[in-house]
Every structure is written in C-alpha cells, then in structure tokens.
Chain A
C-alpha cells in the first residue's frame, strides 16, 4: 500500500463517483431550479445525463480490459475489482435505472408525490449496486448493500399518504435490518476465521479448514440468511409480496430487477468466492431452497388477484430458477445466472411498465380484472404484455427461454436431473397464472374506457424492453458473447 489514491483507483471508481455526484446534483437542482412539481420531469434529463456519464466511464473500463487483454482491474488495495462480471451487472443496473426514471414522472404526478429526491435516490441506489457488483471486500460489499437498501426503504414508502406504501416500507425496513444483522454477523465470523476482510484472503482461510468446521457452518448459515433475504428466496420471502404491492409501481419495478440483480451479483461473489470450498454443505441446502422458492412462488401466484402481488410471487420463483444456475456451478450455470438476470431485467421491467400505465387518476389499475379487455382499448400494450408474460414463462422465441435454456442445460451437465425435471414442470404452472392475465386482457369484457396513462418516456421504455425481449430471444448471440466474457474467474 504505497499511495492512498492511485490513478487506477480513480479509473475504477469513476462510475460510482458519477452516480453519486449526479445523485446529489439532482437534489440541488430540484431545490433551486424546479420548485414546482410540474417542472420536475426535467430532472429525468439529469438522470439520463448521469447514466450517460456513468456508461461512458464503464465503457472506458470495458475497452481497457479488452485492449490490454486482462481479466480484472483491482483498486484500493483489492477492495474493488472491475472484471467482466462487475461490468456486466453494472450495465444491467444502468439500464434499469434509466428505464425506471423514464417512466416515473407521469406516474408520480398521478400519485401526487412528484418530488425531486426520488430521482436522486434512484442514482444513489445505483451507486450502491455498483459496489455490490464490484466489491471484493466484506466491508465494501456491506456498505454497498446498505446504501442500496436505504434508498429502497425510502422509495418503497414514497407515497406518504398511502397506508399500503407506509406499511410496505415499515415491513421492508424491519425485516431488511434484521437480515442485514445476520449478514454482518456472518461477515464478522468470516473475519474471525481469516483475519482479513478481503474476499480472496477469506476464501483461502475458509478453504484451509474442513467444510464441516462449526465456524465455517456458522458463517455460512448466517451469511446465507442475509443474502437469501435480499433475493427473496423462500423461506425469507415474506416481505416481498407486501413490499411489491405497497410500493409505488415504478419502485416495485426497480426493486424487482435492480435490487435483485445486485443481490445476485453479491450472492454469486460470496458463494463462488469465500464459501466456494464449502460447496458440499451449501449445495444441497440451496437446492432445497430453490425448490421451495419455485414451489411457493408458483403456487402462491396462482391465487393472486393483484397483478403486482402476482408478479412478486413470480419473482420469488425466478429467484429459485437463478439459484439453480449457482447450484450447477459450472461455467454454463454461471453464464446462465448472468443471462437469466439480463433477460429477467427487461421482461420483468416491461411487465411492470404495463402496470404503471394502468395507474390513472382515481383508478388503481392493479387488479387482474383491471386489465380485462385491454386488447380492445390498447392492443399495443396488450400484445407487449403478452410478449413479456410469454418471456417470463420461458416460451420461445422470447428472451426468457434463453435464460431457462442455460439453467436447464447446466443442471443436465452436472447431473442434477431431479432438479431439472422439477424446474421444467414448474414452467407449465407458471404459464397457468401468467395466462390468467392474458385471458383477462384478450378474452375479458372491457373494464373501463379511461385511456392508459401513456407518457412519452413510458412508450420509449416499453418499446426498448419489448424489442430487447424479442431480440434476445431471436438473436441472442451478442448477449451470450458478452455474458461469456463476463464469467467470474
């Protein structure tokens, strides 16, 4: 440790700096330039600018890695690592942030809660996600996680006068804090084992012990509880349906893709890093959790009448599918996690965007019945929703199939036939409840004549997510190549 802040440190940190700077700048601009709610939609432009600068910084990092043919750049004495894995996830976070910001202004106006700090929180949460994907140190990772989570606690409760939103935020905060406690306790045990917070040091210290060592198991169990809570895997999923339902729909969308993607990046880093040597212990446990997640998620979704709740349960089952890639654990499996998270981001965002458009003045529009007859009123939205739902279910030629393809293949490669059969059969169950929405949209009587709340930003965002959901399904090669160079090495 020669110099405190080297050029490499700076180069690696630029995206986070950009996000934090723009996040704070939005707050200032909001205060000075846009005192009135009607003007605040211009803040979206600031978010877009911030995302553009961050993307530029990420692009420079990506091309630097490619040009010099190196795997990774480490900074701050190994506390931050920029590798393909981190970059891949950061692209996903940025896309999610931008899309969510684009669709939010009209929605918040309708909810009468259009405040500038919302956009600041989006960027700051994204900053936290950056550290989750790029962190290689227990403390860095934990701070990233808390930064992201704090932003989300506020955003979930953003509808101050709405009882559901308050309740959701409170539940999420209490359970989130509880799980963070578990996580940090696990981290302290890992630190106790290794005497270091660097993931690499922890990994070698854990590997030096037998995996049946009680300390290792203690660290494993407590860390897992914290991590599995964040990805809303069963049995740590209780918060998800309530938080998803109560939160503003745009925040639900962000929570379900951004927070989940970041948590998966974190989870893979920990399980393939410090805990990799204890695989024989956690693999069967995670297998049980994956099966439980798919079972509870898919079966509970069948009975939901609220679309946001239905998608919440479906996201629990998706967490189960993604975990299967980690359980397989070979290159295909990890590539499967990456590809699945990528396609999940776009298809799930898209599905939530349609729900966002259904929220109109004096019309909640969250029920499956509120979608009835949508095809008569707005055929474009109905067909886009159909594509998103087919993709969520995993029907080719949509993107969702490519994600499931990798997961199934990795399970077969590693001989997990039983898991593969369970996972495939739940596809049919998933179709059943996704098609309740389809049935309502295409075969139901028109629920109301009020036109959808379609802003320019929403249309752009829907077009982008819809096109990507189809393109990744029909021509996945460029995305697969990107995922291939982004494997954790």
Chain B
C-alpha cells in the first residue's frame, strides 16, 4: 500500500471515471454526486503525501518503479520532489473544486462531462509524477483529448474553433518535443549502450553544446506553447473564453503549469549548458518580458470580463518563466510558488466570472456595475481573488512575485525593472475591473435581483482563500519544501553557484533568508 501511494493518487480519478461510465445517464443527481465523491476522493488520497513528504531528503521520494515496455527501455517510474508535490496538491484540489463548481452550471451530457474531467485529472497528475520521459509524454498527450471535448462540447459560441486551435497548437509543439526526447534517448544509447527513458539516467549524458541547443529548442516549442509564452499565446484567450467555467479553471490553474514544470524538470536539468547559453537566456527572458507587458496591456483594454482574466494569465505566467530563467534559487523557488499562486488566484477569478455568467449569461464588463450592493459576499470573495492576483502583501501573490523579482534583480536590473512595470499594469487592470463591476451604483436594472453566493459556491472558494492567506502570511514551509529541489536544479545548471555566492552577498539580501528560512 505505502509503496504504491503515488499510483493510488494517480489512478483514483481514473477509477472514479470507470465507475461513472456504468451509472445510468438518466439519473443526473447520482452522476453529480458520484463525480463529486470521486473528485473529493482524488484530493483526499493526495493529502497523505503532504505528511509523508520528507523536506530534508534529497532527490525523489516515494519512488515506484516497474518495467513497462522492456524492449524499448520504457519504465513506469513515479516519484515526487518538492516541486511536483506542490503541483500535485494544486491539481487534486483545483480539480475537485472545478467538479464541485459545475453542479448547476452544466446540465447536458453530464456523464461525459464528468468523465472527461476525471480522465484529465489522471493525465495531469501523471505529468507531474512521471520520472520516465516516455510515460511523461503519454500523460502529456492524454491531457489534450479531454480538454478538447470540455471546450468543444460544453463551451461557448466559438467553442469548436477554440477547441481545435488549442489541440493543434499544443500538439504541434509536443510532437517536436518528442523528437527532442528521442534524440536524448538515442544519444544515451550511443554513450552507455542501452536504451532508457529514465530521467535520472538521461541526466548522465554528456552532450555537445550545439546538440543540447537543438534539443533545447525542441523542448522549448513543446513547453512554451503550453505555458504559453509570447508569441505562442494566441490559443489561450480563445480557449479560455470559450471553455466552460470549470474548464477554464483547470486550464489556467493546472494545464499551463505543465509547461513551466517541463522547463524546470526537463529543459534545465537535462540540458544545463544550453540553458545558460546567453542567446537562449536572453531570447527567453525577452519573450517573457514582452509577454508580461503585452498580456497586461491587452488586459487593460478588454471589454469581456473572461478575456481580461485570460490575458492576465499570459502576463502572470510570464513571471513564472522569468523566475525560471533568472537561473538562481530565488527566481526558481519564486517561480514554483507563483505557479501555485496563479493556480489559486486565477482559478478564483475564473470561478468569479463563471458565477455571474451563470446568472446573467453575459460577460460584458459594461453590463455590470455596483454588484457589491446586490451580492456583498460575492464582492468580498472577488476582492480576495483580485488582491491575491495583484500581489498585495499578506496574500500569496506578493510572496511569489517578490521572490521572483529578487531573483530577476540578481540576474539583471533591467529585467527586474520591466517586471515591476508589469506588476503595476497588473494592479491597474485588476483594480479597474473591480471598480467597474463591483463599486458604485447599480447601473443595470437586470442586476438588481441577482442571488448572492450559496453555500456550495462558498465552499468552492473557501479552501482557495484559506490557501492564499496561508501562503501570504506564513510561506516558510513552502520555501523549505522547495529548497532542496531548487538547489539541485541551480547546482546542475550553474555548478559552483552556491560556493561563489559569498557571505556578504547573502547578507545583502536579508529578505531571501527570511523567506527561505535561511538559505545555504
């Protein structure tokens, strides 16, 4: 039991889906109840991971290994470190809340709807747990199909266009990534005489720089489209706007993190020399900065509430990639925390849009105004989400953005300056959105009779708000969890980094020590 815990976490949603398929489609209540039970079970079985996780241990924990396709050297290997632990917890929680939030929003073809969510859940958890590149790739692609259907069947007016665009963009990137994977696989055979996809084996490769760079670009296409980085972001607004609320939540909170996770888990450790090549770092960081500013500016001028949140994702994910390519402990740790933060805050923002959309069937910002008078609880929840997204101190967003900025500052002051500008724009569009929709007098008579949040809707937000406050007030455990894996990545990419950072340098950055609980 204990040694298979990760498999249990991985396959609980799938098992829930298989049972779901045998329930009668006519009994909608039964299907809803079962899907919620399966979602909750998925979260419940993942909770023990938090308690079993050993912060002081190096490397992967709770590793499971089984032979899968011996003649190809493919193994079924699962394991977690601090980075994947946080992302798995985010996935199981947000996945459950997304299912819970769909109770009244979706009424057609319920069985297929929930089946797709549960299948996708297994796919996403698998991406974060897999330590075998083949296994990773399988899960990576498995995620695409359910999301295609969630957008394409239960989405808005242009759902089919958005769904196939999402599918084709990500697929085109990931097949090129597959070529990169196969190149590493073959190089490993050349150097060591046997074929394997195991990440820890592939880490032993000694590759010439030019080959590393080619593979890096192949991986880059796969991951950057998923993140999405500028200029590969165009699928994102379409997908988000057309997807049903729960689909947007999962897409923003978890699916996009697969891209940033890919950079951290594969690009950096497997291709360390390519990852610090100035051309690559400069290209990626400037694309990131363009993404941050462009996403923010486009958000400012959106008339559609959901589209605004979608573009804000482009901007916020930019901070995550900026942290990664600062290539120092602060940047990377901040990036992972910001990934979780973005999951929490943007997930909430999409849920917020979904709630008024369910009541009014419009997302035009100008249709709303003064909702705070009609829906007071709702406006408070929205305030939390908005401030968390804008990075107000004592909420989670501040911790992530601050740490990333420290990392960026250490790498280059110019980068940090542009990123700060991005934060200012971010605050502007979020506050302005809040002002236009919530504050002032009720401008539209149709909004007079809107119902405030019910208990179930409140239950969806409560854990997210609690988590946001926890990270904002007491982030120490998160930095502790991340310390070892982040140090490993930095040591791999910049050997001797920790020796070179002198005591004075560390003393000059007191905030780092406070945050990371006394970094080395």
Spell out A's residues near B (CB within 8 Å).
375, 390, 395-397, 401, 405, 408-409, 412-413, 417, 420-421, 424-425, 427-428, 431-432, 435, 439, 442-443, 475-477, 480-481, 484
Contacts and interface: CB of A to CB of B under 8 A. Distances in A.
Given A397-B142, A431-B168, A412 B186 contact: yes
A442 B185 CA distance: 38
Interface in B424-479: none
Contacts of B33: none
B283 interface: no
Q: Which 8 A-B pairs have the closest CB atoms?
A: A424-B175, A428-B172, A396-B138, A428-B171, A427-B175, A412-B182, A480-B71, A396-B141
A456 to B, nearest CB: 23
Given A397-B138, A397-B142, A428-B172, A408 B182 contact: yes
Contacts of A435: 148, 164, 167
Contacts of A395: 141, 144-145, 171
Contact of A439 (B70, B152, B168, B178): B152
A412 B168 contact: no
Given A396-B138, A412-B183, A442-B153, A428 B69 contact: no
B129 to A, nearest CB: 16
Query: How extensive is the interface on chain B, given as a class?
Result: 20 to 34
A28 B159 CA distance: 57
Given A412-B186, A428-B175, A477 B141 contact: no
Contact of B160 (A424, A425, A439): A439
A84 to B, nearest CB: 15
A476 B71 CA distance: 10
A425 B186 contact: no
B209 interface: no
Contacts of A390: 145
B137 A396 contact: yes
Contact of A431 (B167, B183, B185): B167
B72 to A, nearest CB: 7
Given A476-B69, A484-B71, A420 B152 contact: no
Interface string B291-329: 000000000000000000000000000000000000000
B168 A432 contact: yes
Nearest to B180: A412
B171 A427 contact: yes
B69 A409 contact: no
17 contacts: A397-B142, A409-B185, A412-B186, A413-B186, A420-B179, A427-B175, A431-B167, A431-B168, A435-B164, A435-B167, A442-B149, A442-B152, A443-B152, A443-B153, A477-B68, A480-B69, A480-B72
Contact of B164 (A397, A405, A439, A480): A439
B176 interface: yes
A409 B160 contact: no
B331 to A, nearest CB: 32
A477 B164 contact: no
B139 to A, nearest CB: 9
A363 B445 CA distance: 53
Contact of A412 (B153, B160, B179): B179
A424 B186 CA distance: 17
Interface in B136-193: 137-138, 141-142, 144-145, 148-149, 152-153, 159-160, 164, 167-168, 171-172, 175-176, 178-179, 182-183, 185-186
A427 B141 CA distance: 13
B69 A408 contact: no
A452 to B, nearest CB: 19
Max chain B Cβ within 10 angstroms of own Cβ: one of A375, A395, A405, A420 = A395
**Which DSSP category, helix, strand, loop or mixed, fits chain B's interface?**
helix
Contacts of A412: 179, 182-183, 186
Contacts of B168: 428, 431-432
A473 to B, nearest CB: 9
B69 A477 contact: yes
Contacts of B175: 424-425, 427-428
Nearest to B173: A428
Contact of B70 (A397, A442, A443, A477): A477
Contact of A425 (B69, B138, B172): B172
A295 B321 CA distance: 36
A427 B142 CA distance: 15
Given A420-B179, A421-B179, 14 more contacts: A395-B171, A396-B137, A396-B138, A397-B138, A401-B141, A405-B72, A409-B186, A412-B182, A431-B167, A432-B164, A435-B164, A439-B164, A443-B159, A477-B69
Contacts of A375: 112
Contacts of B179: 408, 412, 417, 420-421, 424
Contacts of A420: 179
A417 B72 CA distance: 21
A405 B137 CA distance: 12
Nearest to B190: A413
A425 B168 CA distance: 10
A442 B141 CA distance: 20
Contacts of B137: 396
A420 B178 CA distance: 10
Interface string B111-146: 010000000000000000000000001100110110
A375 B109 CA distance: 10
A488 B145 CA distance: 37
Contacts of B164: 432, 435, 439
B186 to A, nearest CB: 5
A417 B70 CA distance: 26
Nearest to A382: B112
Interface string B361-401: 00000000000000000000000000000000000000000
B142 A443 contact: no
Contacts of B172: 425, 428
A476 B134 CA distance: 13
A481 B71 contact: yes
Nearest to A393: B171
Given A432-B168, A442-B152, A443-B160, A408 B176 contact: no
A484 B185 CA distance: 19
Contacts of A480: 69, 71-72
Interface in B205-253: none
A78 to B, nearest CB: 32
Contacts of B148: 435
Max chain B Cβ within 10 angstroms of own Cβ: one of A390, A442, A475 = A442
A397 B145 CA distance: 11
A442 to B, nearest CB: 6
A42 B176 CA distance: 51
Nearest to B176: A424
Contacts of A427: 171, 175
A480 B112 CA distance: 34
A412 B175 CA distance: 14
A477 B183 contact: no
A317 to B, nearest CB: 15
Interface in B309-363: none
Contacts of B68: 475, 477
Contacts of B144: 395
A431 B145 CA distance: 11
A153 B518 CA distance: 80
A421 B176 contact: yes
Contacts of B178: 408, 424
Contacts of A443: 152-153, 159-160
Contacts of A401: 138, 141
Contact of B182 (A409, A425, A476, A484): A409
A442 B153 CA distance: 7
B456 to A, nearest CB: 29
A134 to B, nearest CB: 26
Contacts of A396: 137-138, 141-142
Contacts of B142: 396-397
A477 B71 contact: yes
A442 B171 CA distance: 20
B411 to A, nearest CB: 33
Nearest to A409: B182
